[in-house]
Amino acid sequence: MTVMAKPEHTNARTMVSAPSLSPATIAKPDLISVEQAKTMDVARMTDLFKAHLNPGQLHFMKLLGFHKIKIERAEGMFYIDQNRRKILDFFGGFGSLAFGHNHPRILEARRKFQEEKCQEIAIAFMSQYAAALAHNIAKCSPGDLDMVFLGSSGSEAMEAAVKLAERAAGPKRPKVVYAENSFHGKTKGVLGITDGLLYRAEFKMADNTVRIPFADIEAVERAFRSDPEIGVIVLETIQGGGGIIQAPAEYWQKLRALCDQHGVLWVADEVQCGYGRSGRFYAFEHYGVVPDVTALAKSLGGGKAAVGAMIARREIYMKAYGTPKTAMIHAMATFGGMGEACVTSIEALNVLYDEGLIDNAAATGDYLLQRLQALKEKYPKIIKDVRGKGLMVGLEFHDFSQTLPMVLRPIVSVLDDKLKGSLSGFVGALLLRDYDVLVAFTEYNRNVIRLEPPLICLREHVDRFVDAFDSLLSRGIVSIVKDFVKSQVR
């Protein structure tokens, strides 16, 4: 095969000639086998990650010490690395591991599906598995939320939700309200209602959006009254990337009333806070209200499949896509409703209720918050706030200068903005290195550690995490910084 390029132009296209039409066998490239991938060491993983995935991300993995770890297995609440170290998972894949790792019932459902050689992609026909999953999701949803669109991710589910609502609102009401510090996905459409400069970068955003503060009902009312073109409002019920931020019950009740009064459709983003994580199937159920459209993903796939879903009131769905002429405007994509993914989700929903995991999220989440509140009282100069609902918890540190001895505060305070997130990073890195505990962070408030353990989490797991966290904080901030610096030069 001949390769021709223009080396004098760095942006020149590489031209590849067509293969000759000869009967010769096409040579197999130097491919890595499954077994070779399984036995790959950390050094080789690092080389390939740098060469083919995301070299910039590797910088942050090195800072946190995550680049030294190769996960060999995962089971229940734990990852197991190349040294057979069991790492307690309080990260939970941003809420995508409600059942922990490799739940046996979910594995068994997938095994049977494969052994029976059931259809995986059957776009030309109706799928009994997609139909059954849609039915189950509708049964789990309150009110008249009963029309389901199946996709492969939270971003895709939210794209479907916003498109449906905008179309149902009509061309005379094209504007979409969203909140400060919101995160609704990174795909091009929902990027316009994701309030993050990092993610927006220099992309051209849609010009039909209106930004308001989160949890400010007066701002919602002002927007609705002043702009009759507003047809949709999109809100996370609990802001995840914003730092685990909630609004009071009366906010959601007044929001529902305002939407009804002004004819605005409410889209509730439950991708992260839904599916039982808050102690109810949907977080909005805590407030006695039902949106017009909502979305799920993360744990919907049982930790083994990529599944997202939009769920809408039938009236809204029919306005948008209810005729033969409009039905295919936003029909399922190729991988929406794949057989094994649907079977995985069907079994996962049954496990969710059979094992009482929603109730466990509420009870264990309350216990986690109580224990963390006690730590806040023990370390008031370090921990600023503890908040959350169920097993979606945020732990916020004070700005770095405020955690230091009084004599150092004036000197360091001028650097607080640049140092935001540093303490979270130090603590996260040392929890992993010294205590075998994995935690997560938030996108917008970098002083917040995000805790979203699997819904199978028990008190014993909470105790192990909190005791480790207590032990680490007892070193004092200066020692924590020194220990982290030492870890970077080893």
**E strand or H helix at 161, and its extent?**
helix 154-169
CA distance 346 to 131: 10
CA distance 450 to 379: 18
Would you say 234 and 264 are in contact if contact means Cβ atoms under 8 Å apart? no
Beta bridge partners of 81: 71
Strands (E) across 239-313 are located at 265-269, 293-296, 308-313
Tokens for 80?
């197991």
Beta bridge partners of 440: 450
CB atoms within 10 A of CB 93: 15
Q: Say what the pTM is.
A: 0.92
Mean pLDDT rounded to a whole number for the chain: 92
Tokens for 232?
């949709």
Q: pLDDT band for position 390 (50/70/90)?
A: very high
Angle 372-376-377 (CA atoms, 0-180°, nearest 5)?
A: 120
Q: pLDDT band for position 408 (50/70/90)?
A: low
CA distance 426 to 430: 6
Question: Which residue is associated with the tokens 């977080």?
Answer: 283
**pLDDT, tens digit, 9 for 90 and up, residues 43-58:** 999 999 999 999 999 8
So what's the pLDDT on residue 19? Answer: 63
CA distance 110 to 341: 8
- Whole-angstrom CA distances from 116 to 119, 221, 303, 368 are 9, 55, 22, 43
CA distance 98 to 391: 10
Query: What 3-state DSSP class applies to 444?
Result: coil
Q: pLDDT band for position 3 (50/70/90)?
A: very low
Would you say 192 and 209 are in contact if contact means Cβ atoms under 8 Å apart? yes
The closest of 330, 250, 321, 257 to 291, measured between CA atoms, is 257
CA distance 433 to 321: 52
Tokens for 278?
């808050």
Q: How confident is the model over 423-432, as a mean pLDDT?
A: 93
Cβ contacts of residue 300 below 8 Å, gap of 6+? 275, 307, 308, 309, 345, 348
- Is pLDDT of 7 > 50? no
**pLDDT, tens digit, 9 for 90 and up, residues 178-212:** 999 999 999 999 999 999 888 999 999 999 999 99
Q: Where are the alpha helices (DSSP H) in 9-145?
A: 34-38, 42-52, 55-64, 92-95, 104-115, 128-140
CA distance 111 to 257: 47
**pLDDT, tens digit, 9 for 90 and up, residues 447-474:** 999 999 999 999 999 999 999 999 999 9
Kindly list the structural domains of the chain, giving each domain's residue range(s) and its CATH number in brackets, ordered by start.
104-355 (3.40.640.10)
**pLDDT, tens digit, 9 for 90 and up, residues 281-291:** 999 999 999 99
